[in-house]
Chains A and B, each alone.
Chain A
Amino acid sequence: MIGIDWKIVLEVIGMLIYATFMGFIFMGIERKAMARIQRRVGPPLYQPILDTLKLLGKKESVSHGLIYDFGPVFALGATITALLFIPIANFQLFSSNADLIVVAYLLEVPMLGIMLGAMSSGNPYSAVGVQRGLLTMVAMQLPYGLALIAIVQHWGSFKLSEIVALQSVHGWSITVPALLLAFIVFDIVFQAMLGLEPFDIITAPAEISMGPMLEYGGKHAALLFTQHAVQLFAETAFFAVLFLGGASNLIELLIKQIAVLFIAIFVASIYPRFTIDQAAKFFWKWPTIIGIIAVLLTV
């Protein structure tokens, strides 16, 4: 029998608990900061945890079949896998020669999981939300890919841990002019990845209710909330690793993640929502142009 390395098992469990908790706190920071910008008091920082508890405590749970149940689980699984590929403060469970590509695409998979579940509910609003979500994903792939190509071409590696090591020797990615452009592109894409304004077309609450999330309630919604928390943690960590030099301990990582998060919150709180055609046009215009310039500068 193969011996189980208990130290790694404990580390993974600890990391998942930490990521989920911090993800919830990040969601709380998001709501609190937006409230303060709008001159409101805002909810306490632990509000998303309360919301999730409440959703878990619902006494009834409506399901539309197996795929509907499977969607959120699939999304959560993909997010957790992506998290374990990211080097978080010297801890990285999985590692391969091309883990940058793996993480970049695993972070897209949760959206597909949610859409799988949403489509099986058959609600027309969900269908519109899914259509918008897929179009946003297609639109943001091009600038997203260009930003990643710029990073890879400059550092000459697909390994995230190697990128972190190179950044600690040669300075952060954003100090390189070409990668600063890539940073701007990635930040615009990041806004759409988090589903914040101006790209919150997927869950546009005033137009199509909650989009894909409309039919979810009770335990399913609690699972989606947890998934969103982990994803928020994973995406901010991925951003910090690629552009802000990674981190050697959790405190440093936390500061960088919060810095990244605040850029997203400030942008989100001052811009209104794009319509879907505007978003696609925008993504294929300015971020793509900047991304191509960044790639050409790194050659």
Chain B
Amino acid sequence: MSERNDDFITYELQEFKLFEPLFRWARKKSLWIVAFCTGCGGIEMPPLATARYDFERFGIMPNPAPRMGDLFLITGYVTPKTLKRIIITYEMMQDPKYVMIHGSCPINGGVYWDSYNVVKQFDKYLPVDVAIAGCMPRPEAVMDGIMEIMRKIESGKADGWKRYRDNYEWYKKNQDELFGEGWREKEGKRWLAWI
């Protein structure tokens, strides 16, 4: 995005129309999850990864490195403090990237609807590709959400990263309303001192 330092080069790469179907197929079949678990949904991940549901058969792999990740799972309620980290992690991921939100809390606040310290509507701050309702969604529901995102990737409808690029001003305005101006530089300096 525009907030990057000078010794930090970003190559924007051309889209090859000819190979696009091949890349879409590969993207669909190898979604790497950024292992960033917020709230109570993180505990729903182990059943998905282990023998019973085994999401690795679809090529999904939990990956601790945000630079390599594709799919960002927001697993539960998001506080403003977490949201800062989520936004910075999201911006570290490389396009194309997808966001899936779990449970009612990121959709409309859920049981924290009147809490002073929970982000009620997540898609004001970051673009969302698939949302799964429920408190908590069962692993079946999460699998269904993952299938949905795979279908969307194949048909090219999972365009959250494009929307974030196009409507960056709007998202940034919302983020600044919550955290105050210049939070990104301040916090970024503190957490990512090496950049």
Contacts and interface: CB of A to CB of B under 8 A. Distances in A.
B68 A57 contact: no
Interface string A40-53: 11111001001101
B59 to A, nearest CB: 5
B9 A54 contact: no
Contacts of A50: 25-26, 29-30, 59
> Max chain B CB contacts within 10 Å: which of A40, A121, A209?
A40
A65 B194 CA distance: 13
Contacts of B27: 54, 57
A38 B54 CA distance: 10
A217 interface: yes
Nearest to A224: B68
> Max chain A CB contacts within 10 Å: which of B15, B25, B57?
B57
Chain A interface size band reads: 35 or more
B160 to A, nearest CB: 13
B59 A60 contact: no
A130 B125 CA distance: 36
A55 B26 CA distance: 9
Nearest to B7: A65
Contacts of B64: 205-206, 209-210, 214
A42 B49 CA distance: 10
- Secondary structure of the B contact surface, majority rule: loop
Contact of A39 (B8, B29, B51, B94): B51
Interface in B174-195: 194-195
Given A40-B51, A42-B56, A62 B9 contact: yes
Contact of B94 (A31, A47, A51, A217): A217
A103 interface: no
B35 to A, nearest CB: 8
Interface in A78-123: 121-123
A206 B96 CA distance: 25
A40 B50 contact: yes
B11 A35 contact: no
Nearest to B54: A40
A61 B92 CA distance: 11
A64 interface: yes
A205 B57 CA distance: 20
A272 B13 CA distance: 40
A63 interface: yes
B87 to A, nearest CB: 17
A201 interface: no
Contacts of A281: none
Interface of A: 31, 35, 38-44, 47, 50-51, 53-65, 121-124, 205-206, 209-210, 213-219, 221
Interface of B: 7-13, 15, 19, 22-23, 25-27, 29-30, 32, 50-51, 54, 56-59, 63-65, 67-68, 70, 93-96, 194-195
29 contacts: A31-B56, A35-B56, A35-B57, A41-B56, A41-B57, A43-B58, A47-B59, A50-B25, A50-B26, A51-B26, A53-B23, A54-B29, A54-B30, A54-B70, A57-B23, A58-B94, A59-B12, A59-B15, A59-B95, A60-B11, A60-B94, A61-B13, A62-B11, A62-B67, A65-B7, A122-B194, A217-B94, A219-B13, A221-B67
